[in-house]
């Protein structure tokens, strides 16, 4: 019994650590995007900065989801699943000629900057929520 | 970071926005931190005090930093209209600001208001807004009140507007095409503003009446956007040299004819409404050599001006003109024979290459290896250096590959003479384009300049190699067309690198097989280059194509060029640009980075209305292009367009510029077909018409419900959309090679409006019976003016000869029973039977008939920069399909006729 609780909290702790890394990533995304919006950095460097974090973010999210599944926290797992699948979908859906999820030649077009921003904000909200769920569970 | 001045301006204008955004970011983090702290506190001691303190803190921070936003704008604007009246105005300026419009009519000539349709060239008595002795008081400066009152005919619906709003039943009106190519609609402005407004050839808006709010724009279901041709060849351009270029301190707008002078010393920006000081230097007018007339300066009298920029506008000395030619010399290339044409053309135009004494030139050839040419002055003949390590290509020697053209002219000539013969027996079939481009990038990056690439096949070696993706069996499928996007990001990355180093890459693709233009074109698309494509080019078998190539090269080599350019488009506060179309890299929200700029490329932008424009009656747009001329001067070309703002839906419809709308829609459709799918794009185009006409029907209550009703201003909308759907770029069901489709897309996205319109909806004239009736007389030559014909085979007769002008190609269709005088006197053959099937020019015969025809054709070509290919098409020849595909009103196997299309739209509308 004791062992099970121990493992569970460990798993939770792991998830938390992932989440805090994540938090950093998401925050970074928003700051970088807002910098781009305000013309502090150019599209090229902004996108290369952000594209570096796409895969780590995806892996972290997937891991968190898997950990929840393993520890059989069904509710939290179901909460995490759509976000993880969205991350994977977004990565897979990048057209062949593009330079990643964030493409410097397109980021200023068709309100992409705004939609990226919105997405990052929603994720931030989601992780805040998750954070408390993990904390007070 | 080459163009600091532009960057600064952006930072200034976004400062307020930025405060807002930063709050947006930091607020959640702050809250998160607080709550985190709270939870910790909770856990540790259950103490509540700190939390409350912090909370108070945070809320005050928020309000404090949020409040400057409206406050600063308040101070900028001077509190709107009331603020300006607080300042004591000097004598002569009315103390009270007039309401936006309809108030100042007495200052107008009474006849003006009764003038039915404002003439394009009004008589001076109507035009002068300050006729001496007429006005009760003289008003030395066009104040805001005057500008707003200057909106002609806004008191009621003017007759001009009534004409453009006249409902037209499209199903009943057979001949909707005007007899001449219709001029763009005139914005509903006063004559004074109209006179100084930017030429529609340079700057055009899809809606000449700007809707007041986004809601109104959404109701009209029309796209709002601008079409620009900023570097167009101009015959008249005021060039201004002054130490201080007067710009708004807040938004960095250049002073323009639409600003208002509050008094001698202050002007109000028409984009952000900030009040600025007039610098001392500006008080002196160099044109009239008088002092104290800032409103008579050329900057304020012309909406298109060019400034010679000072060193503030450069971060390095202006670069020299540098040209590098990258030539494919594989077997395929030699076989097509383009090298000969190119070398000859360059030899002929070597003196005319734009540049000064610093001009540099270089050559690189490639097959499976990359060859450089040492042209150092003093060598007896050019030296060829071969680099066979294409995986890691390097530059063999740094200083003698790009040489001063003047110093090494003889060597360059030697090389150009020798080059065609050097590779005649090559067995090399591979092409290492990617490594060659990398080499070019390395070679050019210290200076920047123009790289011209000639490619004749799919790149097969080294970085950036491509596979054939086209399935010939799917060329005519009606289902989805695949592979419209690039296959690799190599060319895009390279283009962005080039753009960063101010290198523009122009691509000439001369190939008979599939070469994956979708991937290759990226190298030009994002480095602000241009793409040329000559399908099935061969110097002997395809003379028409060869002639076109020669003509294009002639223009390409000698046309103006601007280096290390940036363009910024600013618009009145409340409007914002959200999408850009054309060949460039969007470096920040409104800054286009153009490594090279050429006079033949056009741009388009889409706009949205972020804030209501209710408190202004004029919307202005300014495009400023900063570039280095080929003579090493830094110059800024500024165009300003001014348009009225309207609040009624009917006025929005009345001001619709259908040609601009069609072009913008074409751009949007191409974006959609690449990002989504071709069928989506086609549906979206049809829906654009359906939605717009539905909106019009819902708006007008007095319209009879039967038929398909469109306002007169939009009566050509369905026709143009149908023509777009039948373009190579967007058509389905007709066999179209992937490369040709992609090239057509590139053209639609990067050509100026006039060129696109001719391509989409060509002009058809009957030219065998042209009379002198209504002819133009231009310096003792008579130019007949035959009427435009609908693009349908119904208009063709066997007895006639018809000229179809598609912009880049012209067809002369000769009917079977065409009268023999025409064939003899104009074409120089005895009868129809003796006409060859591959004629590509009209002979210069000394008959009036011939002279008249040639005068007409050369009149058509007058303003054209690239001369079109010319084909004489016999009614029975195999080439006639290429002629008939341009008759867009006719039914084809897979596409609607015009009438069917109208019925389709009507059906969609009733759904």
User: How high is the pLDDT of residue B622?
Assistant: 92
Over residues B624-651, the mean pLDDT reads 90
User: How high is the pLDDT of residue B60?
Assistant: 31
- Residue B579 in contact with partner chain A when CB distance is under 8 A: yes
Over residues B661-681, the mean pLDDT reads 90
Residue with tokens 């085979």: B793
What stretch of H or E contains B407? none
Cβ neighbours for B272, distance < 8 A, ≥ 6 positions apart: B13, B76, B248, B250, B251, B253, B573
User: How high is the pLDDT of residue A18?
Assistant: 61
Q: Is the dihedral of CA A99, A105, A109, A113 positive or negative?
A: positive
Q: How far apart are CA B34 and CA B462, in angstroms?
A: 56
Q: Cβ contact (<8 Å) for A44 and B496?
A: yes
CA distances from B841 to A64, B74, B857 (A): 72, 65, 11
- Strand locations in B433-574, DSSP E? 449-455, 503-509, 531-533, 562-571
Residue A80: name the closest of A100, A101, A58, A102 by CA.
A58
- Residue A24 in contact with partner chain B when CB distance is under 8 A: no
Q: Cβ contact (<8 Å) for A109 and B671?
A: yes
Beta bridge partners of residue B299, listed in sequence order: none
User: How high is the pLDDT of residue A4?
Assistant: 58
Over residues B253-279, the mean pLDDT reads 88
On whether the CB atoms of residues B151 and B617 are closer than 8 A, the answer is yes
DSSP B226-271: EEE-TT---S---EEE-SS--B-TTT-PBP-TT-EEEETTEEE-TT
- Residue A104 in contact with partner chain B when CB distance is under 8 A: yes
On whether the CB atoms of residues B524 and B532 are closer than 8 A, the answer is no
What stretch of H or E contains B326? strand B322-328
- Residue A82 in contact with partner chain B when CB distance is under 8 A: no
Q: Cβ contact (<8 Å) for B486 and A96?
A: yes
Strands B634-646 and B210-211, bridge-based pairing: parallel
Residue B205: name the closest of B696, B622, B584 by CA.
B622
Tokens of B604: 């388009």
What stretch of H or E contains B332? helix B331-336
On whether the CB atoms of residues A113 and A33 are closer than 8 A, the answer is yes
Over residues B562-566, the mean pLDDT reads 91
Query: Per-residue confidence at B705, pLDDT binned at 50, 70, 90?
Result: low
On the question of pLDDT at B132 being above 80, the answer is no
- Show contacts of B536-545: CB within 8 Å, 24+ apart: B536/B512, B537/B336, B537/B338, B537/B456, B537/B510, B537/B511, B537/B512, B538/B336, B538/B337, B538/B512, B539/B336, B539/B337, B539/B338, B539/B340, B539/B341, B540/B337, B543/B838, B543/B840, B544/B838, B544/B840, B544/B869, B544/B870, B544/B871, B545/B869
Q: Cβ contact (<8 Å) for B39 and A30?
A: no
Query: Per-residue confidence at B157, pLDDT binned at 50, 70, 90?
Result: very low
Beta bridge partners of residue B570, listed in sequence order: B622
How many beta carbons lie within 10 A of that of residue B204, not counting itself?
Answer: 27
Q: Cβ contact (<8 Å) for A40 and B486?
A: no
Query: Per-residue confidence at B670, pLDDT binned at 50, 70, 90?
Result: very high
Q: What is the nearest CA distance from B97 to chain A, expressed in angstroms? A: 35
On the question of pLDDT at B274 being above 60, the answer is yes
Chain A residues with CB under 8 Å of B579 CB are: 109-111
Q: What is the largest CA-CA distance in chain B?
A: 110
Q: Cβ contact (<8 Å) for A43 and B24?
A: no
Q: Which of B466, B566, B586 to mutate to test the interface with A (most CBs of A within 10 A)?
A: B586
Which of A117-131, B306-320, B376-390, B584-598 comes out lowest in average pLDDT? Answer: A117-131
Summarised one tens digit per residue, pLDDT across range B826-857 is 888 888 888 887 788 888 888 888 888 888 88
- Residue B519 in contact with partner chain A when CB distance is under 8 A: yes
On the question of pLDDT at B557 being above 50, the answer is yes
Beta bridge partners of residue B231, listed in sequence order: none
Average pLDDT, chain B: 78
Q: How far apart are CA B211 and CA B167, in angstroms?
A: 21
- Residue B214 in contact with partner chain A when CB distance is under 8 A: no
- Residue B879 in contact with partner chain A when CB distance is under 8 A: no
How many beta carbons lie within 10 A of that of residue A4, not counting itself?
Answer: 9
- Residue B526 in contact with partner chain A when CB distance is under 8 A: yes
Query: Per-residue confidence at B91, pLDDT binned at 50, 70, 90?
Result: very low
Q: Is the dihedral of CA B91, B93, B98, B102 positive or negative?
A: positive
Q: Cβ contact (<8 Å) for B586 and A34?
A: no
Q: How far apart are CA B509 and CA B310, in angstroms?
A: 39
Beta bridge partners of residue B505, listed in sequence order: B451
On the question of pLDDT at B126 being above 60, the answer is no
The alpha carbon of residue A45 and the mean position of all alpha carbons in its chain are separated, in whole angstroms, by 20
- Residue A105 in contact with partner chain B when CB distance is under 8 A: yes
- Residue A70 in contact with partner chain B when CB distance is under 8 A: no
Which DSSP state fits B832? G
Q: How far apart are CA B581 and CA B605, in angstroms?
A: 6
Q: Which of residues 18-47 of B touch A (CB under 8 A)?
A: 18, 21-22, 24-25, 28-29, 32, 35, 39
Beta bridge partners of residue B291, listed in sequence order: B284
On the question of pLDDT at B586 being above 80, the answer is yes
User: How high is the pLDDT of residue B743?
Assistant: 92
User: How high is the pLDDT of residue B279?
Assistant: 85
User: How high is the pLDDT of residue B704?
Assistant: 60
- When CB atoms are compared, the residue of A108, A111, A124 closest to B586 is A108
- Residue A129 in contact with partner chain B when CB distance is under 8 A: no
User: How high is the pLDDT of residue B122?
Assistant: 35
Q: What is the nearest CA distance from B556 to chain A, expressed in angstroms? A: 26
On whether the CB atoms of residues B151 and B160 are closer than 8 A, the answer is no
Chain A residues with CB under 8 Å of B7 CB are: 39
Query: Per-residue confidence at B655, pLDDT binned at 50, 70, 90?
Result: confident
Q: Cβ contact (<8 Å) for B588 and A36?
A: yes
User: How high is the pLDDT of residue A36?
Assistant: 65
CA distances from B557 to B342, B438, B825 (A): 10, 23, 36
Q: Cβ contact (<8 Å) for A104 and B585?
A: yes
Number of helices followed by number of strands (H, E) in chain B: 30, 33
Query: Per-residue confidence at B372, pLDDT binned at 50, 70, 90?
Result: very high
Chain A residues with CB under 8 Å of B69 CB are: none
User: How high is the pLDDT of residue A24?
Assistant: 55
3-class SS at B116? coil
Summarised one tens digit per residue, pLDDT across range B736-794 is 888 889 999 999 999 999 889 999 999 999 888 877 777 777 777 788 888 888 888 88
Which of A121-125, B112-116, B315-319, B898-902 comes out lowest in average pLDDT? Answer: B112-116
By the 10 Å C-beta count (0-12 exposed, 13-18 middle, 19+ buried), B538 is classed as: middle
Over residues B502-518, the mean pLDDT reads 90
Q: What is the largest CA-CA distance in chain A?
A: 57
In degrees, rounded to 5, the angle at the alpha carbon of residue B666 between the alpha carbons of residues B660 and B670 is 150
- Residue B522 in contact with partner chain A when CB distance is under 8 A: yes
User: How high is the pLDDT of residue B153?
Assistant: 39
Q: How far apart are CA B794 and CA B611, in angstroms?
A: 50
A–B CB contacts, 8 A cutoff, strictly below: 90
Query: Per-residue confidence at B88, pLDDT binned at 50, 70, 90?
Result: very low
3 state SS for B568-584: EEEECCCEEEEEEECCC
Phi, psi of A104 (to 5 degrees): -60, -25
- Between B173 and B259, where is the model more confident? B259
Q: Which of residues 26-45 of A touch B (CB under 8 A)?
A: 27, 30-31, 34, 36-40, 42-44
User: How high is the pLDDT of residue B147?
Assistant: 41
User: How high is the pLDDT of residue A12?
Assistant: 57
Q: Which of A27, A42, A135 to mutate to test the interface with B (most CBs of B within 10 A)?
A: A42
Over residues B126-146, the mean pLDDT reads 37
Interface confidence, given as ipTM, is 0.81
Which of B121-135, B156-170, B229-243, B347-361 comes out lowest in average pLDDT? Answer: B121-135
Q: How far apart are CA B801 and CA B875, in angstroms?
A: 10
On whether the CB atoms of residues B680 and B673 are closer than 8 A, the answer is yes
Summarised one tens digit per residue, pLDDT across range B427-480 is 888 899 999 999 999 999 999 999 999 999 899 988 888 888 887 777 777 677
Query: Per-residue confidence at B695, pLDDT binned at 50, 70, 90?
Result: confident
Query: Per-residue confidence at B343, pLDDT binned at 50, 70, 90?
Result: very high
By the 10 Å C-beta count (0-12 exposed, 13-18 middle, 19+ buried), B364 is classed as: buried
User: How high is the pLDDT of residue B131?
Assistant: 35
Summarised one tens digit per residue, pLDDT across range B176-225 is 888 787 788 888 888 888 888 888 888 999 999 899 999 989 988 899 99
How many beta carbons lie within 10 A of that of residue B354, not counting itself?
Answer: 16
Q: Which residues of chain A have pLDDT under 50?
A: 1
Which chain B residue has the Cα nearest residue A114? B578
3-class SS at B870? strand
């Amino acid at each position: 019994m004791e062992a099970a609780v121990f493992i569970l909290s460990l798993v939770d702790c792991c998830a938390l650590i992932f989440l805090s890394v994540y938090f950093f990533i998401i925050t970074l995304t928003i700051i970088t995007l807002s910098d781009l919006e305000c013309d502090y950095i150019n599209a090229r460097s902004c996108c290369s900065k952000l594209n570096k974090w796409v895969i780590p973010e995806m892996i972290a999210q997937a891991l968190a989801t898997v950990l929840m599944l393993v520890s059989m926290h069904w509710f939290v797992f179901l909460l995490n699943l759509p976000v993880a699948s969205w991350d994977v979908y977004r990565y897979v859906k990048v057209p062949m000629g593009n330079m990643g999820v964030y493409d410097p030649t397109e980021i200023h077009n068709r309100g992409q900057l705004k939609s990226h921003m919105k997405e990052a904000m929603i994720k931030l909200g989601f992780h805040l929520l998750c954070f408390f769920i993990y904390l007070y569970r | 970071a080459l163009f600091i001045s532009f960057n600064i301006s952006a930072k200034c204008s976004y400062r307020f926005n930025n405060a807002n955004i930063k709050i947006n970011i930091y607020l959640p983090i702050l809250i998160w931190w607080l709550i985190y702290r709270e939870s910790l506190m909770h856990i540790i001691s259950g103490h509540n005090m700190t939390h409350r303190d912090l909370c108070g803190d945070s809320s005050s921070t928020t309000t404090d930093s949020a409040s400057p936003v409206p406050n600063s704008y308040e101070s900028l604007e001077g509190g709107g209209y009331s603020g300006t009246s607080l300042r004591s105005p000097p004598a002569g300026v009315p103390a009270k600001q007039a309401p936006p419009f309809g108030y100042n009519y007495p200052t107008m000539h009474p006849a003006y208001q009764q003038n039915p349709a404002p003439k394009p060239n009004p008589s001076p008595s109507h035009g002068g807004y300050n006729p001496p002795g007429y006005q009760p008081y003289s008003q030395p400066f066009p104040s805001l009140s005057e500008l707003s009152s200057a909106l002609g005919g806004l008191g009621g619906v003017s007759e001009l507007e009534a004409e453009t709003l006249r409902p037209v039943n499209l199903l009943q009106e057979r001949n909707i095409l005007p007899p001449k190519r219709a001029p763009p609609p005139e914005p509903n402005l006063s004559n004074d503003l109209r006179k100084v407004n930017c030429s529609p050839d340079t700057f055009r808006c899809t809606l000449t009446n700007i809707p007041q709010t986004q809601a109104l724009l959404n109701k009209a279901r029309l796209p709002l956007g601008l079409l620009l041709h900023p570097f167009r060849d101009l015959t008249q351009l005021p060039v201004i040299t002054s130490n201080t270029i007067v710009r708004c301190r807040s938004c960095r707008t250049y002073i323009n004819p639409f600003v208002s002078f509050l008094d001698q010393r202050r002007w109000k920006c028409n984009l952000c409404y900030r009040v600025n000081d007039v610098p001392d230097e500006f008080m002196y007018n160099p044109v009239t050599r008088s002092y104290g007339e800032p409103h008579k300066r050329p900057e304020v009298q012309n909406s298109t001006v060019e400034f010679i920029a000072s060193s503030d506008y450069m971060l390095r000395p202006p670069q020299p003109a540098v040209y590098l030619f990258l030539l494919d010399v594989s077997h395929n290339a030699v076989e097509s024979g383009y090298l000969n044409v190119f070398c000859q053309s360059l030899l002929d135009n070597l003196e005319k290459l734009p540049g000064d004494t610093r001009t540099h030139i270089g050559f690189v050839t490639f097959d499976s290896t990359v060859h450089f040419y040492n042209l150092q002055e003093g060598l007896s003949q050019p030296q060829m250096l071969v680099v066979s390590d294409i995986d890691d290509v390097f530059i063999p020697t740094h200083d003698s590959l790009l040489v001063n053209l003047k110093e090494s002219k003889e060597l360059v000539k030697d090389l150009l003479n020798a080059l065609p013969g050097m590779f005649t027996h090559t067995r090399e079939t591979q092409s290492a384009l990617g490594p060659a481009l990398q080499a070019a990038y390395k070679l050019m990056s210290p200076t920047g300049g123009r790289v011209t690439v000639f490619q004749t096949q799919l790149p097969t070696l080294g970085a950036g190699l491509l596979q054939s993706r086209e399935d010939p069996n799917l060329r005519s499928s009606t289902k989805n067309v695949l592979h419209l996007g690039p296959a690799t990001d190599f060319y895009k990355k390279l283009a962005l690198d080039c753009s960063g180093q101010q290198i523009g890459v122009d691509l000439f693709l001369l190939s008979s097989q599939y070469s994956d233009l979708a991937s290759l074109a990226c190298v030009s698309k994002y480095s602000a280059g241009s793409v040329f494509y000559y399908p099935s080019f061969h110097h002997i078998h395809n003379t028409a194509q060869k002639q076109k190539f020669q003509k294009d090269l002639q223009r390409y080599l000698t046309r103006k060029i601007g280096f290390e350019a940036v363009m910024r488009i600013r618009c009145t506060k409340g409007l914002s640009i959200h999408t850009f179309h054309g060949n460039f890299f969007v470096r920040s929200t409104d800054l286009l980075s153009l490594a090279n700029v050429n006079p033949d490329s056009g741009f388009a932008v889409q706009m949205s209305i972020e804030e209501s424009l209710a408190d202004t009656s004029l919307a202005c747009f300014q495009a400023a292009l900063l570039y280095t001329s080929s003579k090493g001067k830094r110059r800024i070309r500024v165009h300003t367009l001014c348009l009225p703002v309207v609040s009624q839906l009917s006025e929005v419809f009345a001001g619709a510029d259908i040609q601009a709308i069609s072009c913008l829609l074409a751009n949007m459709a191409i974006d959609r077909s690449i990002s989504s799918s071709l069928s989506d794009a086609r549906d979206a185009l049809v829906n654009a018409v359906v939605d717009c006409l539905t909106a019009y029907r819902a708006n007008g209550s007095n319209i009879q419900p039967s038929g398909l009703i469109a306002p007169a201003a939009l009566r050509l909308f369905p026709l143009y959309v149908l023509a777009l759907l039948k373009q190579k770029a967007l058509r389905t069901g007709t066999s179209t090679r992937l490369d040709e489709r992609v090239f057509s897309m590139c053209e639609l996205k990067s050509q100026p409006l006039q060129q696109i319109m001719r391509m989409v909806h060509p002009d058809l004239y009957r030219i065998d019976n042209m009379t002198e009736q209504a002819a133009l007389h231009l310096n003792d030559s008579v130019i007949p003016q035959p009427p435009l014909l609908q693009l349908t085979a119904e208009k063709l007769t066997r007895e006639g000869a018809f000229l179809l002008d598609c912009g880049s190609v012209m067809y002369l269709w000769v009917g079977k029973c065409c009268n023999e005088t025409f064939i003899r006197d104009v074409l120089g053959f005895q009868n129809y039977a003796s006409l060859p099937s591959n004629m590509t020019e009209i002979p210069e015969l000394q008959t009036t008939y011939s002279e008249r025809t040639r005068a007409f054709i050369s009149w058509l070509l007058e303003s054209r920069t690239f001369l079109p290919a010319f084909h004489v098409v016999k009614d029975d020849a195999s080439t006639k399909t290429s002629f008939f595909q341009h008759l867009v009103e006719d039914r084809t196997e897979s596409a609607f006729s015009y009438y069917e299309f109208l019925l389709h739209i009507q059906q969609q509308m009733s759904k």
